[in-house]
Amino acid sequence: MNLKSIISITGKPGLYSVVSQTKNGLIVESVGEGKRLPVYASDKVSALEDISIYTTTEDMPLAEVYNKVFEFTKGKEAVDHKAKPEELRTYLAGIVDFDQERVYNSDLKKLFQWFNLLVKAGLLKPDEKEEKKAEKKDDKKAPAKKAAAKKTTTAKKPATKTASAKAAPKKAGGVKKG
């Protein structure tokens, strides 16, 4: 899952894709609607690739959680985010061993709302296919690469200093004799 350019903005519903940067912030496009809007430095922005879920062993990145949910649903939408919190917990517990005490109901609602939004937009793709393609490309490129010959450089002689014209000494001001 490639979640690098997908962000969430506090106070604004849905997810956004980063289009470009400005000197004052970002230009983003709504994932579901396609509307573009500016995001300023004062807005709190969270990249989905930086978000992780508490599990019983260690934190799991959101991309990994989405990959497991994607495999579980076979590329279709997951349970509706408006379902009862107990249903959301049992649904996710069947897929990921998350920490029941530290993951809140609001977190689960966001998780499933974002997942369904990304599936509708067609932005979720399983990692396995991308990894296999990347490995094939790396295998083809690896034999072709050769170590570049190191260039030897000769030490340059430091520039000789030349005497520069000095300014004439200042005359003492004051009373003029004579």
Tokens of 3: 């979640």
Q: Which pLDDT tens digit goes with each residue over 68-104?
A: 999 999 888 899 999 999 999 999 999 999 999 999 9
The domain tally of the chain equals 1
For residue 72, give every residue at least 6 positions away whose Cβ sits within 8 Å of its Cβ, in sequence order, or none.
78, 94, 95
Lowest mean pLDDT among 27-41, 42-56, 136-150: 136-150
Q: In the chain, what is the straight-line distance between the N-terminal and C-terminal CA atoms, in Å?
A: 93
Classify residue 96: in a domain, yes or no: yes
Classify residue 104: in a domain, yes or no: yes
Q: What is the CATH number of the domain that holds 52?
A: 1.10.10.1650
Task: State the residue range of the domain holding 103.
Answer: 6-121
